[in-house]
Amino acid sequence: MKESQPTSSKPLAGYLVGVQREGMTAREALDHLRELELLATSYGVPVMGRELAVLREPHAAFLLGAGKTREIHQASMTLGADVIIVDDDLSPSQQRNWERLTGLAVIDRREVILGIFADRARTREARLQVDLARAQYSLPRLARAWTHLERQRGGGGFRGGGGEAQIEVDRRLVRRQIDRLRRELERVRRARATQRKARASVPVPVAAIVGYTNAGKSSLLNALTGAGAVEEDKLFATLDPATRKLILPNRQTLLLSDTVGFIRKLPHTLIDAFKATLEEAQLADMLIHVLDASHPDALEQRAATEAVLDELGALGKPMALVLNKIDLLGAGERMRLGILGEGYRHVAALSTRTREGVGGLIAMLAGLSGHDLMRVRLRVPPSRHDIVSLVHREGDVESESFDGADTMLEAVVPRRLRGRFAEFMET
């Protein structure tokens, strides 16, 4: 078993390995490799070199063939890399085989994403979700000669033990940690469910902002509500759901919830681990799908987001497609906006940076959330001033007068509030 390297403050240098599987074009594989470079950079690992390996048939020992694996080792050593990052899932045994052969830390795309999530999580719920996902990932990998990347970067990691007995002790500890994290997460989710019930007592439509990571979801939330959500030009800049209130032109209230960004090849285990965050998309009344219209792979990113939404059972909800960052498009490039929006009934092209088109989106959301309205005439006794306040807050009051002590209201209100107004309605 290799001894751990001394801890150093110098950032680890990475060598990236893209994998072109059967059925993938070289362009698709290179796109994924470029995305891996963004992930590595977001994780704080400078990239020394990269290469694309063609995989016709997966090999049990290394995923790639032994000869190709040795070539990659030599190239990474020549460039002075400290860690090899493979843009595919490696099994625990494949990861161990890579590390024994190369003497370097070898991680896969999933471990990089987990590391980024760990760096960015802020709320208790997000931290619990990250800890659970990492514990589940590490359990079958406790026998690795090298620990997680965090150990080399100065973090804790799992230490190699003194034989099979120590490994079993470590496994028991991790299993207990997984059970504890699941229990804590369940308590947090119950608390969130209670908060949702309280929110539902005065029903307000909820729109979940979804989209590919770095498409501008937090920027859109800020542009619409002045929420002050974190905006950074990096992947997964924020993982914690933020919910803010937007007052629409028809005076209705719409709750906007930001969600974790989607990405191609997002591991299923991460979707499960972040279920509470993605619940915002599942439970929302409508979705706002944000797409970076300036990205050369915008259509592929749209498809990746739609695939995750379909897996969550949320794809059939009412949806507005927001084509963001149009300020980065030249006059000729704006022609492709029609292609990007194909298949969507409600499309808004805008720039959250310049605010061009933001007003059009707000009007569109008013139409989407307020399409089910009804006209009412209400007689409200003085003891129920809360109903008068609710009409003013949620509806469009056309007239207000008094008949004795009662307040007489004529208004257009959301049909979803019919139950609250039923006993005060006059024909």
- Residue 257: other Cβ atoms inside 10 A: 21
Rounded Cα gap, residues 333 and 370, in angstroms? 33
Say if residue 43 is in the same domain as residue 113: yes
Last residue of a domain, one of 120, 154, 187: 120
Are 287 and 332 within one domain? yes
Residues 219, 273 share a domain:
yes
Burial class of residue 419, CB neighbours in 10 A (0-12, 13-18, 19+): exposed
User: Which portions of the chain are predicted below pLDDT 70?
Assistant: 1-11, 143-164, 196-203, 227-241, 267-278, 370-372
Exposed e or buried b for every residue in 360-396, given b needs 16+ CB within 10 A?
A: ebbebbbebbbeebeebebebeeeeeebbebbeebbb
Q: How far apart are CA 226 and CA 246, in angstroms?
A: 9
Reduce the DSSP state of residue 298 to 3 states and report it.
helix
CA separation (Å) from 75 to 15, 23, 259? 9, 27, 39
For 222-256, the pLDDT digits (tens) are: 899 886 555 555 566 555 567 788 988 877 788 89
Across the chain, how many H-helices and E-strands are there?
A: 15, 13
User: Residues, the chain, total?
Assistant: 427
Specify the amino acid at residue 6. Answer: P
Are 268 and 412 within one domain?
A: no
Kindly state the tokens that stand for 409: 């209201």
pTM for the structure as a whole:
0.70
Domain around 416: 373-424
> Rounded to an integer, what distance in angstroms lies between the CA atom of residue 276 and that of residue 117?
15
Question: pLDDT by residue (tens digit) across 322-366?
Answer: 999 999 998 888 888 999 999 999 999 999 999 999 999 998 998
Q: Are residues 314 and 362 in the same domain?
A: yes
- The CATH number assigned to the domain holding 74 equals 3.40.50.11060
In the chain, the number of structural domains is: 3
Cα dist from 231 to 45, 228, 295, 326, whole Å: 21, 8, 18, 18
What is d(CA 376, CA 406) in angstroms, rounded to the nearest whole number? 16
Q: What is the pLDDT of residue 5?
A: 42
Q: So what's the pLDDT on residue 157? A: 41
The alpha-carbon radius of gyration of the chain (Å, integer) is 26
Sorted by sequence, the CB contacts under 8 Å of residue 365 that are 6+ apart come out as 207, 246, 248, 254, 288, 320
- Among 86, 105, 120, the domain-final residue is 120
Q: Does residue 179 form part of some domain? A: no
Q: Residue 45: phi, psi to the nearest 5? A: -110, 110
Query: What is the domain-level CATH number for residue 217?
Result: 3.40.50.300
CA pair distance 315, 217, nearest whole angstrom: 18
Task: Specify whether 217 is located in the same domain as 354.
Answer: yes
